Structures are given as structure tokens and as C-alpha cells.
Structure 1
Amino acid sequence: MKKLNCILLIDDDESTNRFHEIIIKQINLTDTVVKAKNGKGALDVLTNPKNSIEPDLIFLDLNMPVMDGFRFIELYTGTKNFKEKRPKIVVLSTSLIDEEKEKIESNDEIDMFLNKPLTKKRIANLMTNFWQ
């Protein structure tokens, strides 16, 4: 499996971020996992010139306080950083309402949707889809 430069986990549930980080490290997918509790925190990290965060892959929850996943996508995909690096954006959710499904399907910047939690098998399938 190809090793990625960096993975960004965006979820307001700290235990979910931690669990996903453990799974990612167990399969040695990357040495660098960055976590944010909401879209604003992620955007701050990604657009701060003092950071050198350039994720290949972003796992994104939709329903978060402060800034939800859809607003994050709207703002981040307009940045120079996104346009130059074009990381894969994978939405993670435990459940979706019909309106969210429609928004995901109609958004060209979202590369994939997966149900939470991440598993080694889901990550392996994702890697096969994008990096093989």
C-alpha cells in the first residue's frame, strides 16, 4: 500500500479522531496525522503559512459545531493550496439524511463517502481506488 505524506482528520468527536488515527498508524499509511475538531480549525491549520501541512487525504465529518463539513469544503476548495495539491476528500458519517446525500453526490470536490468508523478494509479499498 502506498504511504501518504499526511492525512487530516476533521471530526468534533475526539475519540473518533483518536480511533481513526490508531487504525491509520497500524497499517502504516502515513507518519503524519493531523487532527482538527471542526472545519474552522482545519481551515486555520491548512491556510496558516507557518504550517507545512499538505495532506494527501482528508477524512471529513459533516455535522460539527463552529463550521460544518460542507462549509469547510466550500471555503477550502477555493484556496490556492487546495487547487495546487488537490488532496482527496472523503466524507465520513454514521448516518445521512437525504438532503446530505444529494449534496455529497452533487459536489465534485468530494471524492468518496464512507460510513464511520474507518476500518482497515475500508482504507485498503479507498487506497486501491485512488492510488493504484
Structure 2
Amino acid sequence: MPNLKTIAVVDDDPIYIQALKNLFTSWKILNPVLFFENGKEVLDFIRVKEAPALPDILLLDLNMPVMNGWAFMENFAPIATQLNKNISIYLVTSSIWEEDSKRAEKNPHIKELIVKPILQKKFREILAG
């Protein structure tokens, strides 16, 4: 069995979450997927888990209640080096603001900003990378 990367999806939109679940099924994505409704939930999860239980890939929405994507990134930065695991973070957002794109490019913990919806080709690139 191949070594499957664990994916964490952080998004508060139930329609988007269901669409992703449907897409993962139709694309035959077998990777384990964790779902969180906001940045605080996933940050709390990351703080208490050991490296093997942490996600390999984090698909992070920007606009969420409780803790948005940017607030998550600010809180993640100080603990990132203590995790003993490199988490590949992708901002997946409907935002097309250039300032979000520039801010993402400057953040060393963010691999890429992807505008929703995520396409199968892009998702397979993320899994391969």
C-alpha cells in the first residue's frame, strides 16, 4: 500500500466541504482527510498531536469565523519548527485580492495560494509534491 499523505481541510462552508468529499470520492482519492471548521480547531489539533498524526497537507481557507486563515498563519509560525514535521500549507480561497496573493508569497510557510474551486489536476500536483 502506498504511503498516503494525510490532508487537512480547514473551511467553514458546508457546501464546499460536501463538494470536496464528493470530488475526492469521484477522483478516487484514498488519502486520509481531516476536516476542521476554522483555524483555531486545526491549530489546537496541531498543538496536541505528535508528528505522525499531523497532516502532511493543509488546505486552508482565508475567510472563516473564530480564527481566519491569516490569524492561523500568525499563530502557526512560532510552533512550526517544533513540530518535527513539515506541513505543506496551501491557501485555498475565493479571494482574488492581489494583496492576499502578495502576502501569501511572502510567508515562508505557505506553498501556494489557490483560487477556488480546486481542480483535479492541481489537487493531484499537490498530492504528488
Same fold per superposition (TM over 0.5): yes
Contact 1:10 1:60 in 2 (8 A): yes
Q: Counterpart of 2:122 in 1: which secondary structure?
A: helix
1:36 match: 36
Structure 1 gaps, min length 5: none
Identity between Structure 1 and Structure 2 (%) = 27
1:12 equivalent in alignment to 2:19: no
Q: Counterpart of 1:96 in 2: which secondary structure?
A: coil
Aligned length: 127
Distance 1:123 1:75 in 2: 26
Distance 1:21 1:57 in 2: 16
Tell me which amino acid in the other structure corresponds to 2:23: I
2:78 match: 78
Superposition map of 1:83-94 within 5 A: 83-94=83-94
Structure 2 gaps, min length 5: none
**1:18 offset after TM fit, Å?**
2.3
Write the deviation string for residues 67-118 of structure 1: whole angstroms up to 9, x where unpaired. 1101111212322576411111011111222221221111111001211122
Distance 1:95 1:80 in 2: 25
State the TM-score, normalized to the length of structure 2: 0.82
Residues 3/49 of structure 1: CA separation in 2 closer, same or farther (3 Å cut):
closer
State the TM-score, normalized to the length of structure 1: 0.81
